[in-house]
Structure 1
Amino acid sequence: MAEQNKRSSTATENGHAGGKKARANGEVKQERQEEEQEEEGEVSQEEESGKTGPLVATTMDDPQIDVRIAVGLLHCHACLLPLKPPVFKCDAAHVVCSGCRGHHGQLCRRAAVYTHCAELDAIVATAKVACAHAPYGCDSYVVYAAVTDHQRACPCAPCSCPDPGCDFRGSPAVLLGHFATAHPWPVTDVSYAKPCKLAVPLPRRCHVLVGEDDRAVFLVSPCGVGAGTAVCVVCVRANGGDAAAQYKCKLWVEVSSNHDNMVMMTSKVRNSDLSGGFPAAEQGMFLVVPPELLHEVSGETPILSIRIDRAAAAIAKSATPRARSQRRLQ
C-alpha cells in the first residue's frame, strides 16, 4: 500500500513537471511565432517602400521648418517657370515640367529618355513661401508654384492714397481707415442691389462706399470735363482690370423737382490700386453730369444715386456648395 502511494505521488509530480514543461514550450513557440510575424511585417514594409519610394510627410501636423533654397532648383529648365508635378528628368539631369518634355528635347541632345521624379513631385507640391504682401497683413503661406496666382488675387495687395502729396500705402482695409481719419471723405456702408443716394462729389472730394457683405471698398470721385463734371466709381483693389471685375454699377443724377432732366450710366466697376491718383475721365467709364444739372435755377443740390451689384461670377464663387444645392431644391 505504501509502495502504491509512492508510485501515485511520483506520477503526480511527473505530471506537474510535464505540464510546466509543456506550457513553457508552448510560450516559447508563441513568442517565436510573434517574432517571425514582426519580422515578416518589417520585410513587407521594406519591400513596399522599395516599390513606392520613400514616404513623404505632407500634412500640416508634421513639424514644419523655414529653409532657404536656390530658386533655380524649383524652376523648369525649359520654360523657366516654377515646377508643377509631375516632374521629369532627362539623361543630362535637366529637370522639366511634364508639358515641356517635347520642347526640351529640341534643345538637349540627351533628352531622349525621361525619368519621373516622384520625390521632387512631393517637394514642389508642398514647398511653401510667405506671401510678398505679408507687410500689408497677409499671413498666408502659398505653394511656390502658385505664388503668382495668389498674389494676383491677394486681398492685402497694397493700394495708394490718391490724394496729391499723400504717400500712404496699405491694403484696402487699412486704406479705408486712412480715408476716414486722414482725409475728410465721408464713408458709407452700402447694400448690394439697393440704390444709395449721395451728393455729387466736389473736386478733390471723394465719397467712400463699403460693401456690407464682403467689406469691399469703392471710391466715388469726380473729375472735370469741360464745364461739367464726370463721376466714376472704382473698386479699391490691386491687380485687376475689367476682365477681373466682380461688380457692376448704375449711376444716375437727377433733381427732385425736375425728373425730366436726368443722366444715367451702367457699367462694370473696374479695379484700381489708385497709384496714379484720382481716376481720370479717360481711364474708364464715367457719368457726365452737365452744367444744367449742376446749377439748377431752383438752387437744389443734384443727387447722385448709385446701385452696386455683385457680378454673377463673384456670387457663384462666394456661395458654398450647400447653399447652391439648397437653391436648386427650392
Structure 2
Amino acid sequence: TAPPPASSYAHCPGLDHFFADLRVPCRYAEYGCESFVPYFRSDEHRDACGHAPCHCPEPGCYLICSPTALAAHLAGEHSWPVDEIAYGTPRMLAVPVPPPPAPAPAPARHVRLLRGDDASVFAVAAGPLGGGAAVSVVLVRADSPAHPRLACTFCAKPPPESAAAGLEEGSCCFFATMPVRSSALADGDGVALEKELYFAVPGEMLCEGSRELLVSVRIDRSCGPEPASEDYKMVAQN
C-alpha cells in the first residue's frame, strides 16, 4: 500500500507509551512540592496542589510562598495568632474587634489564622461594622475548581455582662452558615472585609471595654467542587 500523504495524521503507539510513562515535576516545585506526576495529569495536579503560591497580605511585605510557609511567616514575622481547629467541631474564639477608625486610608481589622486537622490554613478577619462587628473566613490557597467545598458556621455568644441587659448568658443569639472560598491573599484579598462575605453582629454582642466578640467557628466539608467566584457574588447580593 502507498504511504499516507505527508500532511495526514499517523498514530504512533510508541509515543503513547512514552508519554504514559513520562513523569514531570510539579510546576510549584520551587514552593516545596516534591511530586513527579504523569505528563497527561500535570494540569490536574496543578489545580489540586497545596503548594500553589500565596501572598503575604501585610502592607509592605511581598513574600510569596506556599500556604504552610505563609502561615509560619505570618505567625512568626507578623505575630498573627494561630488556633487549631478540627473539621465539624466548633472552636470558640475571643476575637478583639478594633473600634471604628477615624477617617483613614485603610479600615481597622483584627486578623488571625486557623489551622485545620489536615494542615489547611484559614484566615479570619474581624472589624467594626457600624456599632457592631463583622467576621469573615477564607481558605488560604490559590483559587481552583479542584478544591473541596467548605462551609463555615458562626455562632456568636453574648458577653458575660449580657445578663444585666436581660440576655441569658451562654445563649446563642446570632448564627449563620456561609461558603468558604479560597484566596491567595493577593493585594489584601481575603482579609479585607469589604470584599468578603461576612458574619455581622450588633454592638451588644461585644464585651464592654475589650470589644471582644465571643464567636464559635465550625468548618465543615461538603460534597462537590468549590463554587465559582460568581456564585459567591450571588450569595453576597442575596
User: Which of 17, 24, 47 is residue 129 of structure 1 equivalent to?
Assistant: 24
SS of residue in 1 equivalent to 2:187: coil
The answer to whether structure 1 residue 274 and structure 2 residue 178 are counterparts is no
- Equivalent residues of 2:151, 2:180 under 8 A apart: yes
Deviation per residue, 1:287-312 (Å, 9 max, x gap): 0122332365x977430110111224
**Alignment CA distance shift 1:285-1:300 (3 Å):** closer
Unaligned runs of 5+ in 2: 98-107, 226-238
Q: Work out whether 1:91 is the aligned partner of 2:5.
A: yes
* Deviation at residue 188 of structure 1 after TM alignment: 1.2
In structure 2, C-alpha distance between the alignment counterparts of 1:91 and 1:201, rounded to whole Å: 74
Which residue number in structure 1 is paired with residue 198 of structure 2?
A: 286
Matched, 1:160 2:55: yes
Count of residue pairs the alignment pairs up: 203
> Where does residue 152 of structure 2 map in the other structure?
249
Distance in 1 of aligned mates of 2:43 and 2:67: 20
Answer yes or no: is the 8 Å Cα contact 2:112–2:125 preserved in 1.
Answer: yes
**Structure 1: distance between partners of 2:21 and 2:96:** 50
Give the 3-state SS of the residue equivalent to 1:253 in structure 2: strand
How far is 1:253 from its partner?
Answer: 1.6
2:141 matched to which residue of 1?
Answer: 237
Matched, 1:207 2:118: no
**Which has the higher Rg, Structure 1 or Structure 2?**
1
The within-5 A match list for 1:104-115 is: 111=8, 114-115=9-10
Q: Which has the higher helix share?
A: 1
Q: 2:102 is matched with which residue?
A: none
Cα contact 1:255–1:293 (8 A) shared by 2: yes
Q: Please give the alpha-carbon distance, in whole angstroms, between the structure 2 residues aligned to 1:310 and 1:201.
A: 27
- Superposed CA deviations along residues 52-95 of structure 1, whole A, max 9, x for unmatched, are xxxxxxxxxxxxxxxxxxxxxxxxxxxxxxxxxxxxxx7335xx
TM-score w.r.t. length of structure 1:
0.55
Which amino acid counterpart does residue 264 of structure 1 have in structure 2? F
Q: Say whether the 8 Å CA contact 1:124–1:144 is kept in structure 2.
A: yes
- Runs of 4 or more, structure 1, over 6 Å off, are none
The alpha carbon displacement at 1:119 in A equals 1.1
Q: Does 1:147 align with 2:42?
A: yes
Flag the structure with higher strand content.
2
Aligned to 2:121: 217
> Alpha carbons of 1:235 and 1:201: their partners in 2 closer, same or farther (altered >3 Å)?
farther
TM-aligned CA deviation for residue 171 of structure 1: 0.8
Q: 1:229 to 1:121 in 2, by over 3 A?
A: same
For residues 165 and 255 of structure 1, the distance between their equivalents in structure 2, rounded to whole angstroms, comes to 37
Q: Which amino acid aligns with 1:206?
A: V
Distance 1:234 1:161 in 2: 14
- In the TM superposition, what whole-angstrom CA distance separates every residue of 1:147-194 from its partner, at most 9, and x where no partner exists? 221111111111111111111121111112112211121111112211
Please tell me the residue identity of whatever aligns with 1:148: D
CA distance in 2, matches of 1:288, 1:244: 27
Instruction: Give 3-state SS (helix, strand or coil) of 2:181's partner.
Output: strand
Of structures 1 and 2, the one with the larger relative CO (CA 8 A, separation 6+) is 2
**Cα root mean square deviation, aligned:** 2.6
Structure 1 residue runs without a partner (length 5+) = 1-89, 94-110, 315-330
Q: Distance in 1 between matches of 2:144 and 2:151?
A: 14
Deviations 1:207-264 (A, max 9, x none): 211112x1111111124444433210011111326x8443211012221433477322
**SS of match in other structure, 1:121:** helix
Cα–Cα, structure 1 residues 218 and 299, in superposed 2: closer, same or farther, change >3 Å?
A: closer
| TM-score, length-scaled by structure 2 | 0.74
Matched with 1:120 is 15
Distance 1:290 1:120 in 2: 65
Moved more, 189-198 or 282-291: 282-291
User: Does 2:213 align with 1:263?
Assistant: no
- Aligned residues of 2:148 and 2:224 also touching (Cα < 8 A): no
Distance 1:116 1:138 in 2: 34
| Residues 160 and 273, structure 1, Cα contact 8 Å, conserved in 2 | yes
- Tell whether the 8 Å contact from 1:245 to 1:270 is kept in structure 2 after alignment: no
Closer, same or farther in 2 for the Cα pair 1:300/1:219, shift >3 Å? closer
